[in-house]
Structures are given as C-alpha cells and as structure tokens.
Chain A
Amino acid sequence: MATATVDAAVDSHDEGGHDDHGTTTGISNTKLAMWVFLGSECLLFGGLISTYLLYKTNRGPGPENTVIPTDVFDIPFTSVSSFVLLMSSLTMVLALSALTRGDNPATRAWLLTTAMLGGVFIGGQVYEFTSFIREGVGFTHNPASSAFYTLTGFHGVHVSLGIVMLMSLYVASKQGKLQPKHTETVEIVGLYWHFVDVVWIFIFTVIYLIPVD
C-alpha cells in the first residue's frame, strides 16, 4: 500500500507542480485556500474577543460578587507559556527551512519541537483552567468566566488541531513521504500555526495585559 501511495503521490506531484504554475494568480490553490480560510478565522476570533470584552468584568447579579477570571490571573505564568508558544513559530520556520535544504532528520526534529512547544502551551492552559476552577471561577458562574473559558478554549482547540497536523507531517516524514518537493505542505501548515500564534498575541493582550478597573 505504501508503495502505491507514494507512487501516486509522485505522479500527482508532477501535476500538482504544474498546477502551481498554471493558476491564474500564480499562487497554488491550496495556499490561497489557507489564506482565505484564515481570513474567515479572523472574524471567528473577532466575535469571541468582542464577547469577552463585553463581559470581562461582568460578575453577574449575585448578592456577593462571584470571582471573575481577572481576579485570579497569574500573569507571569501565562507570560511564560505565551513565550513558549511564540517560540514555536521560530521552530516551525526552522522545520520548513530544513525541508527546503532536504535535511529530513532536522525537519522531523523541528516539527517535533514545534508540536512539543505547542503541547507545553496546552499543558499550561490545562493547568491554568484547573487552578482557576479551584479558586472558584467556574465556567457557569458568571458571564465573565463563560466568556473567558470560551475564548481561550477556542484558541486552545486551534493549537491542538495544529499539533495534530504537525504530528501528521512528522509521521509522513518518518514514512519517507515528506520530501523537499512537499515544502508547500509544510508552509501551509506553518501559515495556520503562525496565525494561531498571532491570534494569541491579541488574546493575551486583551485578556491579561489591558488592566480592568
């Protein structure tokens, strides 16, 4: 099966290569599709960020004020995990560069590093969520907490899907199916990965850095 698949991939690559030069804009279909998709994602996060901004200090009408996420932030901790996530963009670029050079072991190493840095970020988020819940910020407690978990949770799901894609590339590379001619696949996954990082810069700023009064 593997042989057949690789053969098919090789065959199709020739056509695929042809496609890239043959498109009207000169950008390959898949890359253009990813850009278009990321445009749509901007509105998804735009909606979620707006929701959070509306509710960030909304403790609900209870007689005693319930705890909201801004009360329990651990900004140094989140800064470190944000730094980890941002560094993963660097390793993503290094993976692409290694594949362009045809250095498959280095490609795998950087892909794995990127995925692991993403994993560290997700681990940090899981830790943050559990400690917040311990400190009395439940998802259902008030509009502020619902909005906080939804926004950061959506971002976390995006990072997790990115990790799945990176690991798929890693396995493909292990099986010898990720060759220098496939740099664009890595580049496209990279586009997604960088987008998710950039979105986090906005979310981190909006949620953690802009003070609330």
Chain B
Amino acid sequence: MAVTDEPLALTTGEDLVVDRPLGVFTRPQGGKGWRDWLSTVDHKKIGIMYGVAAMFFFVVGGIEALLIRLQLAAPDGQILSADVYNQVFTMHGVTMVFLFIMPLAAAFANYLIPLQIGARDVAFPRLNALSFWVWLSGAIFLNTSWIVGGGGADCGWFCYSPNSGLAFSPSHGVDFYALGLQIAGIASLVSAINLIVTCLNMRAPGMSLFRMPVLTWMLLVTQFLLLFAIPVITVALFLLMFDRLFDAQFFNPEAGADPLLWQHLFWIFGHPEVYIIILPAFGVVSEIIPTFSRKPIFGYSFMVFSGIAIGFMGWGVWAHHMFVSGIGPLSVWAFSMSTMFIAVPTGVKILNWLATMWGGKLRFTTAMLFAVGTVAMFTIGGLSGVTHALAPADTQQTDTYYIVAHFHYVIFGGGVLGLMGGLYFWWPKVFGFMLNETWGKVHFWTMLIGFNLTFGPMHVLGLQGMSRRIDTYSPGFGFAFWNLIATIGAFIIALSVVVFFLNVWKSRRDAPHLPAPGPDPWDARSLEWMIQSPAPEHNFDEVPIVESDDEWWHRKYGYDENKNVVRIATIEEATQKGDAVGVHLPAPSFWPLVVALGLPIIGYGLIFNLWLCVLGGALVGLGIYSWALEPVDDPDADHDHGHDDHDDDDDDDDGEGAEAEMADATAGAEEGAD
C-alpha cells in the first residue's frame, strides 16, 4: 500500500531486497488517510474510532429520544402513530445501550488499558480491529431495518415474548434486532477475551494486579461480565431467531412454550449489562476525583474489591426485573434480599469518593464537575433502585415512569455523565489539545439541568400512575404538566450535546494559538500521563518499571524529612520523549474488516434469502484463512522494522507469532459460528 510504486533508495546505501509474498497475502503497511484507518490495528486508533462511532449513535438515539418527548409533550400527541412510537422507543433503548454507551466505554477500554498497564498494545491487535469492525457492521445492520426491514424493532429494548413473536410483531424489525445484537455480541465477546488477556498478561514489570489503576480494574471486571453475559443473550437471541425464522417453539405460548424463559435468559444477561454500563464510568470517576483532589484514592483495595463484589453479585439479582411475573414468594424474597445487598459495595464506592475529596485540594475543572455530578446523580438513581428491591413497592412501580426515571438516573446520570467527564479528562492525551473549559462548564451545567428536568419529573409521573411505553395520554389524567417539563428538559440536553460538539470544533480551531497541553496537563497519577500527548504510536519509549501504585505521581513527588510532599522531578524530566525509533509494532491488516463485512451479509441472508448466507459465509471464511496465513509483516513496510535496540521491550509486543495467528484465527472461527 505504499504511496510510491518504486522502492525508495535506502539512505544507508544497502540494496533493497523486496521479498514480497503473493497477492492477497501481502500485509498492508498503513500509511496515510482512510487506508490507514481501515487497516489499523493500533489500539489507540481503534479506541478513537469506537468513540467517534459511539457519538454518532448518541445523536441517532438522541433524535429518537426527542421524538418520544415531542410525542408526549402534550396530551393526545399526534406526532407519531402508536406503531411508529413503539419502534422509536425500542430503537432508542437499543441504540443508547448497545450502540452508544457500550462502545463509548469500549473506546476508553481500548485506548487506556494498554497505556495504564504500560503495554505497547493489546494482546491481539488484529482481534481488536475485528471487534470494532464487527460491532460497527452490527450497528449499521441493526439500523438498516428502518429502510429494508419494514421499520425498527417494536418490542421494547428487552423484547419480551410473546410480543416479539411473529403474531404481534410481523415486520422484520425484531429479526434485525435479534441478528444485529448477535453480531454486536460477537464483537463484545472478542473484545472481552482480548482485553482480559491484555490485563492479565501484558502488564509492565512491577505492575502487579493491585497496582493497576482503578479504571483498568473496573474495565477488567466489565470484560469478565461481558465474557459471561454475552453467551447468555446469544442463546436467547438464537432461540428468538429460530422461533421467528424457522418456526421453532421456544416462546410461543400457544404451542405450550413458556414466555418466562425469555425473561430469565434476557435478564441473566441484562442485569450484568447494567454493571457493564456503569462500572467503566465508576472507573473514570475514580481517576478524575483523586487527580483533582490531589490525594490518592481513598481505600484503593476497597474500591477494587467492591467493584469485584458488584461483578459477582450482579449475577444474583436478575429476577428483580420479574417481581410481577409470578416467580413465586421464595424467589421474590431471595432476589429482594440480594438486590438490597448489592447496594452495599456501591455505597462503599460512593463513600470512598467522598472521602477522597474530603480534605483534598479540590479543583473544579469540567472533568471534575462531571465526576462529582456522576456521584450525585448516581446516588439518586441508586436510592430509587433500593425502593425497587422492596417487592411490594416494586409491584406498584413496575412498568411505570418511575422505573424510567430510575434507570435514566443510573445510566445517564451515572454512566453518561461519568464518561463525558472522561472525555474532558483524557482529551488532551488523545488529541493533543485541551477542550475549552468555559464551554465545557456550559456543557456540564446545561446537561445537568436538562437531565434533571427530563428525568426528575418522571418519578412523579410514575407515582401518579403513568405507565411506561404508552404512546399518548388523555388531558384529564393530570400528566400534562410534568410531561411538558420533561420535554423541555430533553431539548436542554440536546442543546448541551450541541455545546459539546461546538466545543470540540472551537477547541480544535483555537488549539494552534494556545500553548500545547504537554504530557501531563492535570498533574495526574497514572502511567498514560508519562508519555507525550497525543500518545506516540509505540506508546512507551521504554516500558516503565513500576514500583508503586500511582506510579506516575511518585515519579514526580517524594517526601522530605518532615514527611511533606515535595516535587522531585519536573514533568519534562520525568516524561518519556516519544522519540524511540525502531520499535517493532504489529503490522496493519485488512482481514478483520473483511470478516466483519461478511457477518451482516449472513444476517441479511437469514432474513431474506439463504443464498446470501453462502456469500457471507464465504467472505468470513476467506477472511479468517487469509488472516491466519498472512505474514507477520509486509516486506515493504518501512516503519518500525529495524532491529530493536531496547532490550526490555521485545517482550511486550503482541502475540503475533505463528501460533498466535493460528489460534487467533481459530478463536475467530468459533466466534463467527456463535
């Protein structure tokens, strides 16, 4: 893929020997422009692509949200028909959960885990690219149901049977839901395996598990949750697909099947999913608050263990989504208890964040405002969550707007605000310029006010008895006032998102006229701040030797004889220069993209014409075998292939040996089949 056709003369005067393998087995070299992005295996570029695509779907899901709020703004809304309304709220939920917040968390995971543990890349760079492309192809596939599927899915994001059956949902929307989420699930599973291996196997010398930053820990717990939750939803989606496309009898009550099966399978996935959404934001907050309090995180091991505890207990609470489904008093009792217990580790986290801030030297930057906002809003959502743990109260609240209020406080107030704070915090590291703080604060306050105006009144509406998912209501019900307030709030949130995008545009425009932020603009604590901004392609010039938690902080600060903190090194002295040459990096590859392109074709084939499956399957097979057989490097590649001078860093390259290739591909093969 070199830009020039003729080999350039080497400055050293050696003869250039081109030992180029044939045709398709040439490994691309990267280079500039779109080819670079399509073939990249760099975890940082993949992280950026995840982030950009997630923000795109945030806008899509946001427009759907605004349509919902417009419809409900006044009694007897006429904007959407009942049918379209069903599709819009379903696709809003699915988009926000699977296509916005999970990939945004994946963006942080991809970009930051290797940097925080002192690695050059993830364990399997090509599988990482595969995760992104497969997720994106699934996301696009899911949304094409608006065009070719006769509308979006209309069964609610959890798609209860028998509503999801052909009788009640005859369009192809639910088929696209089942297959689109299946494809996105493959991406999550591959990514989970990859990042777990990265966390366990790729740590810098001295980076023991209990020196990993809390963000990396929370992301690791998240990956374990994905690892075990995704196969359960995979089973559920397969059964749903078999029911709809091949007339199986899993969920059809008329054939004697039990619709509760879907509810159990869905929520065994669905409740861990809640923690999959929230734990990355908890991790982000746990990085921001210590930095801007100038204190180490309070009770590091408690923070980590409470995260692990949430990860375990998250598996034992799923049936609290089903208290009114008739699961019996013993089950209700048990799940009610476990739901109350899971509030304990969450409470530990909140108290530890407060204790971190207590007595700290607080700086309320935009990132800090978002982090504190997350703690406050999540606490409200957590408290209303505890009210659901009481089964008698929950019986009254089920399927009302009270539930809608609760989970938006948790997911938006916790997850989205937290990750937004992360964007402001790590923006200079990723792009090399700061986001404007004034505009950032405007963004924060409009978003916080809009959020509370939208979802606060829903508590009241729910307690008044407004049920969830109704497409309109009559004037005499007394719902009009708070609905109007909620709609105004939703548009204020939309305004805040516009402010964010304007801020990005303005900050980028102003960046050349401002001093560069440097490697460590916030005086932060973990290893990613030790390298230049934006992060060099090879991450670390030399892999750091880690001697304590908050390693980067301890390289900058020490203690004098009176135990006072003193600066021992300037940022310039302590950072790496980013000028290492000859670091061996994994070569780019197009095959992940090819494999990812095959999957939606199989999806269309299952829905419309089975012959397309043959085509898609052939593409996937071609991709996997070409992947396994492509050489480690393209002989043309001119970057980073000199012999490596750093003795300590050949051990941290990715596992791209021949074995790795094989097993990469075989793992890919199984995932493809799942």
A146, B248: Cβ atoms under 8 Å?
yes
**Is A71's CB within 8 Å of the partner chain B?**
no
Asked whether A161 and B201 contact (CB < 8 A) given A8-B633, A33-B663, A51-B261, the answer is no
**Is A184's CB within 8 Å of the partner chain B?**
yes
Taking CB atoms, residues of chain B closer than 8 Å to A103 are: none
Asked whether A12 and B657 contact (CB < 8 A) given A37-B667, A150-B239, the answer is yes
Can you give 26 A-B contacts (C-beta < 8 A)?
A: A1-B21, A4-B635, A22-B650, A23-B201, A24-B201, A25-B201, A30-B664, A32-B197, A32-B200, A34-B667, A36-B193, A40-B193, A44-B234, A47-B231, A47-B232, A51-B239, A58-B256, A139-B248, A143-B250, A143-B255, A143-B256, A147-B250, A150-B242, A168-B666, A188-B662, A192-B666
B231, A8: Cβ atoms under 8 Å?
no
Taking CB atoms, residues of chain A closer than 8 Å to B584 are: 15
Taking CB atoms, residues of chain B closer than 8 Å to A48 are: 235
Closest to A189 in B: B666
Interface residues in chain B, defined as those with a beta carbon under 8 Å from any beta carbon in chain A: 19-22, 25, 123-124, 189, 192-194, 196-197, 200-203, 207, 227-232, 234-236, 238-239, 242, 246-250, 254-258, 261, 265, 268, 584, 628-629, 631-633, 635, 650-664, 666-667, 669-671, 673-674
A29, B124: Cβ atoms under 8 Å?
yes
A25, B663: Cβ atoms under 8 Å?
no
**Is A101's CB within 8 Å of the partner chain B?**
no
Contact with B along A116-153 (1 / 0, CB 8 A): 00000000000000000000000111110111001000
B656, A16: Cβ atoms under 8 Å?
yes
* Nearest Cβ on chain A to B629's Cβ, whole angstroms: 6
* Nearest Cβ on chain A to B227's Cβ, whole angstroms: 5
A184, B21: Cβ atoms under 8 Å?
no
B657, A16: Cβ atoms under 8 Å?
yes
A19, B651: Cβ atoms under 8 Å?
yes
Taking CB atoms, residues of chain A closer than 8 Å to B238 are: 150
A5, B232: Cβ atoms under 8 Å?
no
B197, A59: Cβ atoms under 8 Å?
no
Closest to B651 in A: A22
B666, A44: Cβ atoms under 8 Å?
no
**Is A198's CB within 8 Å of the partner chain B?**
no
- Bin the interface of chain A by size: 35 or more
Asked whether A185 and B662 contact (CB < 8 A) given A150-B239, A165-B669, the answer is yes
B663, A188: Cβ atoms under 8 Å?
yes
Asked whether A15 and B656 contact (CB < 8 A) given A4-B631, A34-B667, A147-B250, the answer is yes
Contact with B along A178-198 (1 / 0, CB 8 A): 000010110011001000000
B261, A23: Cβ atoms under 8 Å?
no
- Mark out the residues of chain A between 1 and 49 whose CB falls within 8 Å of any chain B CB in the assembled complex: 1, 4-5, 7-9, 11-13, 15-19, 21-25, 27-34, 36-37, 39-41, 43-44, 46-48
Taking CB atoms, residues of chain A closer than 8 Å to B659 are: 13, 16, 28, 30, 182, 184-185, 188
Taking CB atoms, residues of chain B closer than 8 Å to A75 are: none
Taking CB atoms, residues of chain B closer than 8 Å to A60 are: 249, 255-256
* Nearest Cβ on chain A to B222's Cβ, whole angstroms: 14
Taking CB atoms, residues of chain B closer than 8 Å to A63 are: none
A188, B201: Cβ atoms under 8 Å?
no
B660, A16: Cβ atoms under 8 Å?
yes
Taking CB atoms, residues of chain B closer than 8 Å to A41 are: 231, 670
B231, A142: Cβ atoms under 8 Å?
no
Taking CB atoms, residues of chain A closer than 8 Å to B652 are: 22
A141 to B257, CA, bound (A): 11
Closest to A24 in B: B203
**Is A55's CB within 8 Å of the partner chain B?**
yes
Taking CB atoms, residues of chain B closer than 8 Å to A201 are: none
A161, B249: Cβ atoms under 8 Å?
no
Most buried by B among A4, A145, A158: A4
**Is A61's CB within 8 Å of the partner chain B?**
yes
Main secondary structure of the interface of B (DSSP, over half): helix
**Is A54's CB within 8 Å of the partner chain B?**
yes
* Nearest Cβ on chain B to A12's Cβ, whole angstroms: 4
**Is A87's CB within 8 Å of the partner chain B?**
no
Extra inter-chain contacts (4) besides given A29-B660, A37-B667, CB under 8 Å:
A17-B657, A36-B197, A43-B229, A185-B659
A1 to B238, CA, bound (A): 41
**Is A164's CB within 8 Å of the partner chain B?**
yes
**Is A157's CB within 8 Å of the partner chain B?**
yes
Most buried by A among B228, B229, B231, B666: B666
A43, B232: Cβ atoms under 8 Å?
yes
Which 5 pairs across A and B sit closest by C-beta, in order of nearness? A16-B657, A22-B651, A47-B235, A8-B631, A29-B655
A13 to B250, CA, bound (A): 48
Other-chain contact of B658, A16, A22, A25, A44 (Cβ < 8 Å) = A16
A4, B660: Cβ atoms under 8 Å?
no
A30 to B201, CA, bound (A): 10
* Nearest Cβ on chain B to A123's Cβ, whole angstroms: 20
Asked whether A21 and B651 contact (CB < 8 A) given A34-B667, A60-B255, A143-B255, the answer is yes
A18, B651: Cβ atoms under 8 Å?
yes
A40, B189: Cβ atoms under 8 Å?
yes
Closest to B670 in A: A161
Taking CB atoms, residues of chain B closer than 8 Å to A150 are: 238-239, 242, 248
B673, A44: Cβ atoms under 8 Å?
no
A29 to B242, CA, bound (A): 35
Taking CB atoms, residues of chain A closer than 8 Å to B650 are: 15, 18, 22
Taking CB atoms, residues of chain A closer than 8 Å to B256 are: 58-61, 142-143
Other-chain contact of A185, B124, B236, B663 (Cβ < 8 Å) = B663
* Nearest Cβ on chain A to B652's Cβ, whole angstroms: 7
Taking CB atoms, residues of chain B closer than 8 Å to A18 are: 650-651
Closest to B264 in A: A50
B657, A5: Cβ atoms under 8 Å?
no
A150 to B227, CA, bound (A): 22
Closest to B21 in A: A4
B249, A33: Cβ atoms under 8 Å?
no
Taking CB atoms, residues of chain B closer than 8 Å to A40 are: 189, 192-193, 227-228, 230-231
A32 to B197, CA, bound (A): 7
Taking CB atoms, residues of chain B closer than 8 Å to A43 are: 228-229, 231-232
Other-chain contact of A143, B235, B249, B660, B674 (Cβ < 8 Å) = B249
Most buried by A among B232, B238, B249, B632: B249
A184 to B664, CA, bound (A): 13
Closest to A28 in B: B655
A103 to B202, CA, bound (A): 34
Taking CB atoms, residues of chain A closer than 8 Å to B200 are: 24-25, 32
Closest to A48 in B: B235
Asked whether A24 and B633 contact (CB < 8 A) given A17-B657, A142-B249, the answer is no
* Nearest Cβ on chain A to B226's Cβ, whole angstroms: 9
A5 to B657, CA, bound (A): 12
Taking CB atoms, residues of chain B closer than 8 Å to A4 are: 19-21, 631, 635
Taking CB atoms, residues of chain B closer than 8 Å to A5 are: 21, 25, 629, 631
Taking CB atoms, residues of chain A closer than 8 Å to B663 are: 30-31, 33-34, 185, 188-189
